[in-house]
Amino acid sequence: MTRREGEVERQIMAAIERLRSGTPQYVTEVHLTDRNVIAEARTSKATFYRCAKGVAEWRKVKEAAVCEALGRLESLAAQGQEPTEASLLAIARVDRGALRTMPEELQRRWQLLQRPRTGPQATSKDELIASLVAKLYATSLAVRKRDEIIAQQAAQIAELGGKITPLRPV
């Protein structure tokens, strides 16, 4: 990786983090769209898409946002409120295009959430299983992200000549 590529990657990761936290520096809206992350990172569209690590991280951020929004909509649906696509987009802060490119599990979870319910017994075993699978998927995304961050930080410490001392004997 050249110095320029590393700098671009850092810009993209920082832009992703600012958009995720809702505190962008260069754009006026905090929606999780490709256009916003490109503008926030101050790169071109081509440069953004050439940064495979940045694009992969961006996809994970959008998936996690949609998964979290689906969880909130499921709890609202349990209270009797009807979930709409507009409410999903508003809570997740993504655009319609991002919804179409989500993994199959999340799309299935959204379709199940949109089905009309006739009472407390309307949730079938299959729907419950699909919901649990989607929650497990979201949890595994969070764990994978945590492990990636730990590995990156350990690599940076090793690169700087530092040593990590475990809190517990291994």
Distance between start and end Cα atoms, the chain? 34
Q: Which amino acid is at 116?
A: P
Q: Could you give the C-alpha distances from 153 to 34, 47, 150, 158, 167, in angstroms and in order?
A: 26, 25, 5, 9, 16
Confidence (pTM): 0.64
Tell me: the pLDDT tens digits for 69-82? Answer: 999 998 888 887 88
CA–CA dist 60, 117 (Å, integer): 31
Q: For position 78, what pLDDT does the model report?
A: 81
Q: Is the pLDDT of residue 1 over 60?
A: yes
What is the token pair recorded at 108?
Answer: 């299935």
Indicate the helix (H) or strand (E) that contains 85.
helix 85-92
